[in-house]
Chain A
């Protein structure tokens, strides 16, 4: 809240914007999506390896985008964003992981076999 940087263009995080990086990130996302689409429609993998492959590719793309789009690095302007992102990651893994665990066991215990 100081007059010195009231021009948004001067903000360090805005200065980080870079068309090149955005385009690369976009291309990467698009490429990954087509790759995954192909993996699904072409039935080249068994269901379990398909799930694994999709997950791994998705994580890769997320990492690339975090760096290229959101510029999450350890510089002075960005470190708080990076820290908060990293601290959220366990919450996401935990809530999804524990949810999968509870529902798998629930299904095993409540559904008729084979349904």
Chain B
């Protein structure tokens, strides 16, 4: 071994011997394990008994269709969000139970039910999962799903790379889930506090799980960013000039420029820490020439741009939803674009505000303080633009609009508290208090609100029926109650001096507010139930809520509403020609809403492939092997990854042509179905709502079909 390891190691099993020391009798882990086993078995038996393995393989696992990949990104994000929410429940209940010296302790904890080591893993996993494996995939999913249709493209620039990005994200998520049961997860906070993450202080495998899962996931995000940027630059339909690009597409561009430039910094920071832990270098140690603040510095050079990476697409959602339900064009298109780019630029200049208390000179702190506050200018421009869009509009308030307006309120409160934190004098008082936690949850909730709004807004486009409004409103108000009950007390506690990451609460006077937060979590729990009911009711009533018009809301404005609902796998029968900003609104005004083209042309489409799935499987095993230092397995799977890439690069049979006649036949069938001439129960070869969204007999895998 290159470094001294505590505990057993052998060449065959690496450090897996450590597992013998883990106590699997912990009821919480046991319960989580049972949930995963039951859930997994249920899903697998459903697939088996309904005979859907072939369907799953053809339509989902090997697909390169940007829409399906987008849906899967969002699903992965939602599942991981649920996992992160369970972590949150545990933190809230632990803090409410472990107040004062007299509070009882169970399950080996002196107070509450989570011993510090376990509690620390919970908050680390919560933060890392929510940001990198929930928020990021959900947003990337929406970009994947909507952006190509919005610019009139048939798919992404690199459909294969797109699938690889998704499956690497899945590999990262799987590695984190494996950490729950096989070994530990990091206990050093989602930011990876140095030197705590160094081997002497974290001798187990937890930090290694953290390092490798982020590393794998961020490779996925980076290649996704390359793909999204290339798509926007190269795949726009004729007439889709930069001045006509829908705002959501603009925000996708801005956000992925941030991702492409900043994720490599994270990769390097984690790689250096990995070298420290694996071969004994001293980049971030406290001695021998290491500089532990350099890790914090590198982390936040990525970290702050990353928070704007997640917020800018949310701004994009708002810019699509608000005009639709105000029945007006977006106010200030050009300023909106400039503001997005300005936010992206400024996001790179402010990172030290996360460690004002490090002790750099007043000059440095002042510079970063002012730079941080500058973000308020473009953000303010955006808020005013949305307000002016609504002003004198014909406002309607279906659920997407409720989420959008809620999001605006959160943007304002979160932005204000951000401004407070940006003042070094204030920051010295509240840094690392729960005030900061409340601030950034406030900001992330803005994103969550916008994303739920986007879900309801685009759902009918994607699945062909609307979501239930009644349960949607119940969901919204319960979620909002949760937000208020958890985060207003949290801001207050921050001012009262409560620091973050406490597994034991020394001041009994904080107890009432902590109990209020537990009530808030209860509201969140109920809201999740309402969401599940909303989905269930909507799917059950899908025939009643069926949308056949291409424009589900009647007042939408951009290109994605110009194709069938749901869009066929080739998106547009013929590539649309764009005449105006807000093309669909323009066509509506000019009476050009007929979807049947005069002439059909051959369509060129990418073929399905299993290679991304295979590569990501090997990546997962490689990550696992690296965590446990099973060198032979890591080397073998790494070689397998390279070989798979080489084989794929010699594969010339990656695309196919749909003849014009075939396109015409499918288009006629879609229209017949929409007009009710084909009964809804008939199996749908193209499109077709929840029963076989986008299903098509025409996306061949390579081995199945050679046209």
In contact, A101 and B364 (Cβ under 8 angstroms): yes
Q: Please, how many angstroms separate the alpha-carbon atoms of A80 and B226 in the complex?
A: 13
Distance (Å) between the CB of B682 and the closest chain A CB?
32
Across the interface, do B364 and A102 meet the contact criterion of CB distance under 8 Å?
Answer: yes
Residues on A with beta carbons closer than 8 Å to the beta carbon of B348: 91, 94-95
B363 and A95 contacting across the interface, CB-CB below 8 Å: no
B233 within 8 A of A: yes
| Contact between B606 and A98, CB atoms less than 8 A apart | no
Q: Across the interface, do B361 and A105 meet the contact criterion of CB distance under 8 Å? A: yes
The stretch of B5-13, B26-34, B242-250, B352-360 that contacts the partner chain: B352-360
Complex: A8 Cα to B296 Cα, angstroms? 43
> Which chain A residues border B367 with CB–CB below 8 Å?
98
A2 CA to B157 CA in the complex, in Å?
A: 11
Contact residues of B between 186 and 216, Cβ < 8 Å to A? none
Contact call B361/A109, Cβ cutoff below 8 A? yes
A sample of 12 more A-B contacts (CB under 8 A), given A95-B348, A98-B352, A102-B358, is: A1-B604, A1-B655, A80-B233, A91-B261, A94-B349, A95-B265, A98-B367, A101-B364, A103-B291, A103-B297, A105-B360, A106-B359
Residues of A with C-beta under 8 A to B291: 103
A3 touches B604 (CB 8 A): yes
Q: With CB as the reference atom, state the residue of chain A lying closest to B652.
A: A6
What is the bound-complex CA distance between A109 and B359, given in angstroms? 7
Residues of A within 8 A of B (CB): 1-3, 6, 80, 88, 91, 94-95, 98-99, 101-103, 105-106, 108-110
Asked if residues B604 and A106 are in contact (CB atoms below 8 Å), the reply is: no
Is there an interface contact between B604 and A105, defined as CB atoms closer than 8 Å? Answer: no
Tally of chain B residues near chain A (CB < 8 A): 24
Given contacts A106-B358, A108-B361, contact A1 B157 (CB under 8 A): yes
Q: Which residues of B contact A110 (CB under 8 A)?
A: 359
Contacting residues, chain A, for B265 (C-beta < 8 A): 95
A-B contact pairs, 18 of them (CB 8 A): A1-B606, A2-B604, A6-B652, A80-B233, A95-B348, A98-B352, A98-B367, A99-B297, A99-B301, A102-B297, A102-B352, A103-B294, A103-B297, A106-B358, A106-B360, A106-B361, A108-B361, A109-B360
A40 to B548, CA, bound (A): 73
CB of B533 within 8 Å of the partner chain: no
Q: Is B293 close to A, CB under 8 A?
A: yes
Residues of A within 8 A of B604 (CB): 1-3
Instruction: Encode contact with A along B359-383: 1 for CB under 8 Å, 0 otherwise.
Output: 1110110010000000000000000
Structural contact, B301 and A95, CB atoms closer than 8 A: yes
Q: Which of B155, B361, B655 has the most CB of A within 10 A?
A: B361
Q: Give the shortest distance, in Å, between B645 (CB) and chain A (any CB).
A: 15
